[in-house]
Chains A and B, each alone.
Chain A
């Protein structure tokens, strides 16, 4: 029964990590995606490539370098330690840093493609009517690209829920701090506790599947109704 409690702790921790990561990613991802979708600078392709890197890189590569960067001997680790008094490795904050990098493309790319289809004439019209930048963003861009926002948030959330390799490399498997669901599952398998493993694996599978059904159902519905509007 002790294990069951640790599984619930892991579930709760994973949800917290996914929520915090998604919020951060939406805040930094939206302006980044907007810039990427409108910039003509050559530098933009470098940024675009960096954003997409976590899609291609094995999570172990990210985890390996992050652990080195987190060390108090290095810049990131020592600055963080000086600022907060806490190290980054083996802490929840460290996992958030890792997850933000790991899930970045899943948030930026849907937003970017949403913004690319955005009609800039609308923005110009709003500007001539005196709407400020924030006003235009909140009352024009977000409502008109809300499908992209929903896709970005759901994908970012789901991808962070299933994060494994990065956490394995930088987490240190501490219950209540860094032991997320996928790590708890791996632990059960290594300990040959297949029954517990089945619960977690089945739960994650069902959760991810339902989330994707919701996402695609939402998108399909919107696409159909959008074309309906256009036909009118």
Chain B
């Protein structure tokens, strides 16, 4: 009996003393979110407040389904706009917190060789490629974007039988990195990350071409707070609008939405 009481007291104290913020994020934004939460925590600590931030990453669809099933997340950073919008419609998300937080840049990466100089055009690279690795267009926003870019480059027919589909952009990148695909189309945020690792490994140079201008529908990534919105969650969202946070997002390989114009009704 005494033990039970002790356990209850300890649990209560723990939850009372440290505020916890649980964030669900699409895998592509995780590295940036980790930096954001670290900077946020440092700022809060200097104000004498302590808390814990837990980040869970998966594909947006999986996280969306988990939230519908009652997963205890307070913030949801999706890789698209529709899942956060659907969560507002279903009453899980707080409509006032719905906003686009970043616009993904799509890039094509190819191995550098003498026949493909830096100014090589993406169409040529697609035609020359034996295998083109992309994320699954059925489930991943960057897969949809990659298909759109391939189409507007006019290479859809040729690329059709060369496509290999990863479960997400990270797997598409792995297909490329392991040498099994010669071209990949992924989010710049991922390639930024992997490129710096590649430089560390002193690997051969890569050609990276920004395909964002070939997209009629850029990858707009939206977020929403799950009801009830805690004070900590609101503070984190406010922090996202500060110049420090915006710089972290840009450095992570994203564009910022134009304020006030980011949500289309």
Residues in A lying within 8 Å of B, measured CB to CB: 67-68, 70-74, 77, 87, 89-90, 168, 172-174, 186-187, 190-192
Distance in angstroms from A33 CB to nearest chain B CB is 33
What are the residues of chain B within 8 A of A174 when measuring CB–CB? 163-165
**A-contact bits for B171-183, CB 8 A (1 contact / 0 none):** 0001100111000
Q: Write out the residue numbers on chain B whose beta carbons fall within 8 Å of the beta carbon of A77.
A: 179-180
Kindly list chain B residues whose C-beta atoms are within 8 Å of the C-beta of A73.
Answer: 179
Q: Which of B65, B178, B180 contacts A192 (CB 8 A)?
A: B65
B175:A172 contact, CB within 8 angstroms: yes
- Which B98-151 residues have C-beta < 8 A from chain A? 130-131, 133, 136, 138-139
Set A70, A173, A190: member contacting B180, Cβ < 8 A: A70
Given contacts A71-B178, A71-B179, A172-B175, contact A190 B59 (CB under 8 A): yes
Write the chain B residue with the least CB distance to A178.
B164
Contacts of B180 in A (CB 8 A): 67, 70-72, 77, 87, 89-90
Interface of A is mostly: loop
Q: A168 to chain B: which residues have CB within 8 Å?
A: 167
Distance, CA A67 to CA B139, complexed state (A): 23
Given contacts A67-B174, A190-B61, A191-B138, contact A90 B179 (CB under 8 A): no
A-B contact count (CB 8 A): 60
B residues sitting closer than 8 Å to A (CB atoms) are 59, 61-62, 64-65, 130-131, 133, 136, 138-139, 163-167, 174-175, 178-180
A149, chain B: closest CB distance, angstroms = 36
**Which 8 residue pairs spanning A and B have beta carbons closest together?**
A172-B164, A71-B179, A89-B180, A173-B165, A190-B139, A73-B179, A90-B164, A67-B178
Q: List 15 A-B contacts (CB under 8 A).
A: A67-B174, A67-B175, A87-B131, A89-B175, A90-B131, A90-B175, A168-B167, A172-B164, A173-B164, A174-B164, A174-B165, A190-B61, A191-B61, A192-B64, A192-B65
Chain B residues near A173 (CB-CB < 8 A) = 136, 164-167
Cα distance, A172 to B135, chains bound together (Å): 10
- Residues from chain A with a CB closer than 8 A to the CB of B136 are 173, 187, 190
Please, which residue of chain B has its CB at the minimum distance from the CB of A186? B167
Q: Which residues of B contact A190 (CB under 8 A)?
A: 59, 61-62, 136, 138-139, 167
Q: What CA separation (Å) do A122 and B175 show in the bound complex? A: 53
Tell me, rounded to whole Å, the shortest Cβ–Cβ distance linking A140 to chain B. Answer: 46
For B139, list chain A residues within 8 Å (CB): 187, 190-191
Question: With contacts A67-B180, A174-B164 known, what are 5 further pairs, Cβ within 8 A?
Answer: A71-B178, A71-B179, A87-B130, A87-B131, A89-B178
Residues of chain A lying within 8 A (CB to CB) of residue B163: 174
Bound-complex Cα distance A77 to B178 (A): 11
| A186 contact set on B, CB distance < 8 A | 167
Neighbouring A residues of B178 by C-beta, 8 Å: 67-68, 70-71, 89
**B171: shortest Cβ distance to chain A, in Å?**
8
The distance from the CB of A100 to the nearest CB of chain B, in whole angstroms, is 19
Docked pose: A174 CA to B163 CA in angstroms: 8
Asked if A172 meets B166 with Cβ closer than 8 Å, knowing A71-B178, A89-B175, the reply is yes
For A67, what are the chain B residues with a Cβ–Cβ distance below 8 Å? 174-175, 178, 180
Which one of A87, A89, A90, A192 lies within 8 Å of B61 (CB-CB)?
A192
Can you name the residue of chain B whose Cβ is closest to the Cβ of A90? B164
| Complex alpha-carbon distance, A173 and B180, angstroms | 14
- For residue B167, which residues in chain A have a CB less than 8 angstroms away from its CB? 168, 173, 186, 190
Closest B-chain residue to A193, C-beta based?
Answer: B138
**A174→B65 CA distance, assembly (Å):** 25
Smallest CB separation, B176 vs chain A (Å):
11
Among A68, A70, A174, A190, max chain B CB count under 10 A is at A190
